[in-house]
Structure 1
Amino acid sequence: MDRHRNPFTCYFCHEKIENETEMGHTSVCGNVLIPCPNKCGSYVPRMEMPLHKKECLNRPSRSMTRLTTTTDCLETYEDGITSRTNNGSIRELIERLQHDFHKLSTRLANYEVASGSPKSKQELNKLQYQTQLLFEWKKAADFKLDTLTQSLNSLEKSRNESEYHWMGLQQKLMNFDKLQMDINLATESFLKEQNYNRQANLEFAKNLDEFKDLFEQENVTFSHLWADQKRSISDIQADINSLKHNFEEMKAKQVSVVFDIKTISQIASETAEKFELQEREFTKFRQQFEQMKLDLEILENLASCDGRTSPGHLLWKIADFEDKMSKAKDCNTVLKSPIFYTHNYGYKIRVLVYLNGLKKWKDRYALISIHVLKGDFDALLKWPCHIEGTVTLRDQENSAKNFTKHIVAKRQSGDEENEEPQESSFSYIFIPHATLTKSHHLKNDEIFLEVKIEQNRNLLTETTL
């Protein structure tokens, strides 16, 4: 069976095991959790169980009878046997038990020969017969253990996938450990009774009868335990078969689920791409629509503002300020002022306002620039042009609190397309959002911007009529 002992890493102590089977190591590993024998509800690592028994709330009283004391002795012997099994397998433990029983039988035979009692010889023969039955039971148990070990080794590769079920199997293996503990308990009890017989020669017959009764009781206990163990092995085999069947079903379901997930993932990816494309197109359309509405409003204002503008001067009322600011934040819309001229027969210009700012100024400042358009007198004007002026945010109650800034526009030629100002350019000014709303610049949801173009000598002489 050594050829089946492949190296593995213990799940409980995380050590690499090379010279033991996984089942054999698990049955003696000190880090395996086992239930408290006092039924306090705790699960304690095997190596810490002696300490837990001393601290357990359900520990037996110190004033228990001789039977309790004997049980504690047997548990001590059981711990000794368990510690010895750390260097060997269950087979080696049973061989030691066989050797101990053989040694015991030899000593009893020598003792009976020395005593010369026919009745004692008859009892000794019965004891030897029962010992022989124990040897046969050991061979049968050996065979069953080999079969069970081979079955468990065949499932080592699937242990990681069936860890939860393995914990249930471990609980059943603990029942097998309990059988070993009962065997050790019986052996310790047998040795204790033998020691009593040797120390009390005057009560030999009485102690021998007690030993016989105890051995018969233990034999009956062994029979019941073996029957229970056979049922446990049958249950384990049934669980293993059920586990294999469930594993095959889970494997088939997993393949199907993986295929469905891949299909759904591909469909979701395609849908996300289409949705993102539609969302971009919708955002672009919304921006165009909002800008179109503003342009239409500007055209209406142009129709109503005819005759109210003069060369080089514009007073522009921006109504519905909150609504226009909201649209600027959502759609990056641009406000366009009525068209006017720098001077008589001069450059055709208009003012552009980005209420929510651009790039690094976004959400903090409103940007204002002068846009030079294609005019009727461009052929007679000097290019590139240089236009200077002031932009004033009017305070609607106190003109002393007006906010004024100087503005410059330099263009190579007139352009009908909206030109977005560049950050490195000085052709636009910025007004903080806080300034727009403080004092009385904003009142009744409207603001007033006043633009004055400086009528310097160079600008006035640029048009020759």
Structure 2
Amino acid sequence: MIETLRRQLGLYDVKIADVDLRNQVLESTNYSGVMVWKIQNYSRRKRESVSGRTLSLYSQPFYTSRYGYKMCARIYLNGDGMGKGTHMSLFFVVMKGEYDALLPWPFRQKVTLMLLYQGMDRRHLSDTFKPDPTSSSFKKPASDMNIASGCPLFVAHNVIEGSFYVKEDTIFLRIHVDTSDIWDVY
């Protein structure tokens, strides 16, 4: 009987952990089209990127509205493509969402990628682009996520390191999707 109770307790622990994880995801979910991504332990993560251990990181998903497009960001701290070894590369990713059948495709919203300056004068670095409607990156996703699109030469390493872009071994990125001309489906 004690063994049965232990097994039941174990099952309850698993269920509680699952509910806790779901609550954490719901609390951090953003429906405004703007996401601020905090990356801690920058130095260690950059070393892991240089060594090839962890090439890229994905942000948490965010949305243009409650029933809107699902998106995330992808960063290569040691660069990707033309930026490999010299730059931080930052990309935008359209993900498969629950309400994709109701949304217009291809994705056409203006996207701004930004590295936030943590000093007093707020010299944020940014790049803005309007999606190419012919690119597969902005078509309705057939798998979990489309191919990332963005900036392989986003910011040079020598600009980032030793500056207020990294403070207390942490960087902040801001992704802003212009939602001003999106018609809500609900």
The aligned counterpart of 2:139 is 412
Q: Which has the higher contact order (CA 8 A, sep 6+)?
A: 2
Q: Distance in 2 between matches of 1:437 and 1:359?
A: 20
Alpha-carbon spacing, 1:387–1:305, altered in 2? closer, same or farther (3 Å): same
Q: Structure 1 residues 373, 303: closer, same or farther in 2, change over 3 A?
A: same
Q: CA deviation at 1:437?
A: 1.7
Structure having the higher strand fraction is 2
Identity of aligned residues (%): 26
Larger radius of gyration: 1
- Give the deviation of 1:418 after TM superposition: 6.6
Q: How many Å apart are 1:308 and its aligned residue?
A: 6.0
Kindly indicate which of the two structures has a greater share of residues assigned to helix. 1
Kindly indicate whether the alpha-carbon contact (under 8 Å) linking 1:369 and 1:407 is maintained by their aligned counterparts in 2. Answer: no
The correspondence for 2:36, drawn from 302, 315, 324, is 315
- Once the two structures are TM-superposed, the CA of residue 305 in structure 1 deviates from its matched residue by 7.2
Matched, 1:442 2:166: yes
Using the size of structure 2 for normalisation, the TM-score is 0.74
- Structure 1 unaligned blocks of 5 or more: 1-299, 422-426
Q: What is the Cα deviation at residue 337 of structure 1?
A: 0.5
- Matched to 2:144, the amino acid is E
1:65-144 alignment runs, 5 A limit: none
1:60-95 CA distance string (max 9 Å, x none): xxxxxxxxxxxxxxxxxxxxxxxxxxxxxxxxxxxx
The 1-side partners of 2:114 and 2:50 are apart by: 23
Tell me which residue corresponds to 1:261: none
Find the aligned partners of 1:418 and 1:396 in 2 and give their Cα distance.
32
Unmatched tracts of structure 2, length 5 or more: 1-20, 132-136
CA contact (8 A) 2:138 2:146 kept: no
Q: TM-score, normalised by structure 1?
A: 0.31
Tell me the matched-pair count: 156
Question: Residue in 1 aligned with 2:81?
Answer: 359
Do 2:38 and 2:170's aligned partners in 1 also have CA atoms closer than 8 Å? yes
Say what the alpha-carbon RMSD is for the aligned residues: 2.3
Q: Could you tell me how far apart the structure 2 residues matched to 1:303 and 1:407 are?
A: 31
Q: Tell me, in whole angstroms, the C-alpha distance in 1 between the residues paired with 2:66 and 2:40.
A: 29
Tell me what 1:433 maps to.
157
Rate the CA distance shift 1:406–1:440 in 2: closer, same or farther, 3 A: same
Between the aligned partners of 1:352 and 1:363, the Cα distance in structure 2 is 17
Q: Structure 1 304/341 Cα, relative in aligned 2: closer, same or farther at 3 Å?
A: closer
Gap change, CA 1:347 and 1:304, over 3 Å in 2: closer
Q: Residues 408 and 428 of structure 1 are in contact (CA less than 8 Å); yes or no, is this contact kept in structure 2? A: no
CA distance in 1, matches of 2:123, 2:88: 18
Distance 1:417 1:313 in 2: 19
Q: Which amino acid aligns with 2:127?
A: K
Distance verdict in 2 for CA 1:369–1:407, change over 3 Å: farther
Q: Counterparts of 1:6-405 in structure 2 under 5 Å?
A: 303=24, 306-307=27-28, 309-331=30-52, 332-405=54-127
Could you tell me whether the CA contact under 8 Å between 1:366 and 1:431 is conserved in 2?
yes
Quote the offset at 1:354 in angstroms. Answer: 1.1
The one-letter code sitting in structure 2 at the alignment partner of 1:306 is: E
SS of the residue aligned with 2:47? helix
Give the 4+ runs in structure 1 shifted more than 4 A.
Answer: none
